[in-house]
Chain A
């Protein structure tokens, strides 16, 4: 099925470990986003890529890096995981940077840092 695919779905890390969350979309969307969702906090934007070749910080970028590998793929890297990064991470994409036509979300990566 067309959409946004995130891997892995679940991950447990020890404090200080690193990992990369993968995201790929097959809808030929131009813009891609990484969000984290914590109870009662809604969706907070970590980084986004308005178009291939560009990336920008969102609301909560500290502790994260991103790579827009090509038009389809946008990865999120945690260099040294901390317990405060325990969260559910969502990747999303949309056809135009304005978001006028809505965002398609992946099913999420549930990350626990111990």
Chain B
């Protein structure tokens, strides 16, 4: 089955620093999704990507759909304490079994 490798597993950074994380897949995806999960809550969709090479921003967050269609990247600029949480990538391919594949998450801690 499809596998997603998400890295890094965790990050401890200072407020104001930039953050980068990525996901790589063993299969080609048609859609990449990035989610954030606040402590004690369910994941919330941040950014959706639909085309290879696509670069999309949501405030201080920027995500890219890799040109090989097997990877995706999420960057957070000038981190703030409320960025704390777990970030998940997810991918899906329309020709598959419709089961979404999620990465294991990147846990982000921001020190004031």
Contact = CB atoms under 8 A, between A and B. Distances in A.
Contacts of B50: 100
B48 A45 contact: no
B92 interface: yes
Interface string A77-97: 000000000000010100001
A42 B105 contact: yes
A100 B31 contact: yes
A40 interface: yes
Chain B interface bracket (under 10, 10 to 19, 20 to 34, 35 or more): 20 to 34
Q: Is the interface of B mostly helix, strand, loop or mixed?
A: loop
Interface stretch (B13-21, B65-73, B96-104): B96-104
A50 B42 CA distance: 21
Interface in A38-54: 40-43, 45, 48, 50
A99 interface: yes
A53 B85 CA distance: 36
Interface string A24-42: 0000000101000000111
A106 interface: yes
Contacts, number: 62
Given A42-B104, A42-B105, A102 B33 contact: yes
B45 interface: yes
B45 A58 contact: no
A108 B42 contact: yes
Interface residues of A, number: 25
A11 B41 CA distance: 16
Given A40-B9, A42-B105, 9 more contacts: A31-B98, A33-B100, A42-B6, A42-B104, A45-B100, A100-B31, A100-B48, A107-B40, A108-B40
Interface of B: 6, 9, 30-31, 33, 40-45, 48, 50, 88, 90, 92, 94, 98-100, 102-105
List the 10 closest pairs (A to B, CB-CB), nearest first: A105-B42, A42-B104, A97-B98, A102-B45, A99-B92, A43-B102, A99-B100, A98-B94, A105-B43, A100-B31
